[in-house]
A and B are shown apart, each in its own frame.
Chain A
Amino acid sequence: MNRFLRSLDSREQVAALFFVVFGLLVIASVSATLATFRRREPLDEAWHLELRHLRQLLATSWVMVAVFWFGWATGETMATILFGLIAFFALREFITLSPTRRGDHHSLVLAFFVVLPLQFWLVATRRFDLFTVFIPVYVFLALPVASALSGDTQRYLERNAKLQWGIMVCVYGMSHVPALLLLRFPGRNYDGKQAFLVFFLVFVVQACMLVQHLVARRFTRPPSLPAVSASFNWQGAAVGVLAGSVLGAALSFITPFRPEQALAAAFVACVAGLLGHLVMKALKRDRGVTSWGPRTLSITGANGLLDRVDALCFAAPIFFHTVRWYFGVQTG
């Protein structure tokens, strides 16, 4: 089996990976559908609710995997555009729930139609040195200028901080995911397989979040930070990070790292993702909402995207820079 996998070229290996993932999803979806036909006596409300949660989770996974497959199949530029769109929709949700004033209009136009496209263009054109400093240096200094020029000084610092933070998480964080596709690992025979690295990051972080969520649900312990989250506790977080890290080590064969390096990289990504998720929860609490999606009721349209990707937005830049500097990776 292993020899067979090694005999494939990198493109075929990535294709095989997607084949396996899609296969797993098909099996999971079919069994979830079959489970709805099963009769349970007496009728178990909780069980049905659990099943509905599972089906929702599966639906999200389908969309995510389909997006990744599309991004990979259509090439690096397309993938970058795709993540640019995700960043756009995430930022749209973020701004919707952070009330802005009339004077912020020009800064918002700048953020959505100048900063966001420029950042992803920098990624696509591999200007790595500029892309890591463009937002934290240039944009963060330029936005307050735009705000000052609008002449509105009411809650000036607060408004700028809000917008800068939104850009940092949604644009800067998200842009580091497609940037992984462009990393070059000299001497490791890894060219053309960078899609695996994106898969590695997303898979490990999502697994960590999922395990943490399940542990928190199954063993109801008092929340460690009740003001921030009603479900988060350190035990669940530790188990989640542990699971993510071990999974990372087990997946080292699809990365350019040795197992212990993969373990360390996964650990860093999981911790960053988990803490990032916590930060976003604190932000949501501050805004008095439980999710970034629209309020309840039956509605049509995109929703709750930021809830799905917030951990990734934090994990991606940390993972990227850890890999790039600590593991001595070059870009180009």
Chain B
Amino acid sequence: MAAKAFGLFLLGLIRVLTGSQARWYGCPPKAEQRIYFANHQSHADLVMIWAALPAELRSITRPIAAKDYWTKSPLRQWITTAVFNAVYVDRERKGDEDPLVPLIDALASGDSVVIFPEGTRGAGEEPQAFKSGLYSLAQKFPDVVLVPAWIDNIQRVMPKGEVVPVPILCSVTFGAPIRLEPGEERRAFLDRARAAVIALREI
């Protein structure tokens, strides 16, 4: 109940600050199992995609959240668990444990996920090279639709180190789904995926 109320409040706040516009360019919003992958510039990215999705899709889509940042305080943990229903992922690899396990569990149970294949927040104009997680997931779940997304402007709303956000219109552009071709190399696929994300910037 509190989570629902807070979710609504957050949604209102984001709409006022950023407009949180979803631009469905290459595919319609549809309730099929999907992996959304996007550029990563700010901690607010997961909030942006969450807000841009229609309510019906929001309930079946789980954004990825960096475990070290989003579990630091009880409030952050509560927001990511109760409101976003996020999947925690370790950014630092510990021992032999596969960091993708939580994502694989989420996908195996039928949920859609939102991931940021750069692994960390980029500072430059273009996203950094994608890490291999996307490739592994695409291999393991060939039936899940891969949707590229470009998040625009969010870094201007709250630059690194600032605490007060300013209102600037942001948008999330969703592109045409891509798929892993039979026999495609890991690097080639990841570069293609990154190009699909960058291509959405100019639309």
Which residues of A pack against B, CB within 8 Å?
Answer: 88, 91-93, 95-96, 100, 102, 105, 108-109, 112-113, 294-295, 297-303
Contact = CB atoms under 8 A, between A and B. Distances in A.
B170 to A, nearest CB: 8
The 7 closest A-B pairs by CB, nearest first: A301-B19, A96-B169, A108-B166, A301-B21, A92-B167, A299-B21, A297-B23
A93 B166 CA distance: 12
Given A95-B168, A294-B21, 9 more contacts: A100-B156, A294-B169, A297-B23, A297-B25, A298-B23, A299-B23, A301-B20, A301-B21, A302-B19
Contacts of A302: 19
Contacts of B166: 95, 105, 108-109, 112
Interface centre among B24, B25, B167 (most CB of A within 10 A): B167
Contacts of B164: 109, 113
A301 B167 CA distance: 14
A100 B168 CA distance: 10
Interface of B: 15, 19-25, 153, 156, 159, 162, 164, 166-169, 171, 173, 203
Given A105-B166, A108-B166, A298 B159 contact: no
A298 B29 CA distance: 12
Nearest to B202: A295
A112 B168 CA distance: 10
B19 A102 contact: no
B156 to A, nearest CB: 6
A301 B15 contact: yes
Contacts of B171: 294, 299
Contacts of B203: 295, 297
Main secondary structure of the interface of A (DSSP, over half): helix
Contact of B153 (A88, A96, A102, A298): A96
A95 B23 CA distance: 20
Contacts of A297: 23-25, 173, 203
Given A92-B169, A96-B168, A102 B21 contact: no
B20 A88 contact: no
Given A92-B167, A96-B168, A299-B23, A105 B162 contact: yes
Contact of A300 (B21, B159, B168, B173): B21
13 contacts: A92-B19, A92-B169, A93-B169, A95-B166, A95-B168, A96-B153, A96-B168, A105-B162, A294-B23, A295-B23, A295-B203, A297-B173, A301-B21
Nearest to A88: B167
Interface centre among A93, A102, A112, A301 (most CB of B within 10 A): A301
Contact of A298 (B19, B24, B162): B24
Contacts of B15: 301
B159 A105 contact: yes
Contacts of A100: 156
Nearest to B24: A298
Nearest to A111: B166
Contacts of B169: 92-93, 96, 294, 301
Nearest to B171: A294
B164 to A, nearest CB: 5
A42 B200 CA distance: 40
Nearest to B165: A109
A290 to B, nearest CB: 16
A190 to B, nearest CB: 36
A295 B166 CA distance: 21
Contacts of B168: 92, 95-96
Nearest to B19: A301
Given A102-B159, A105-B159, A112 B23 contact: no
A41 B25 CA distance: 35
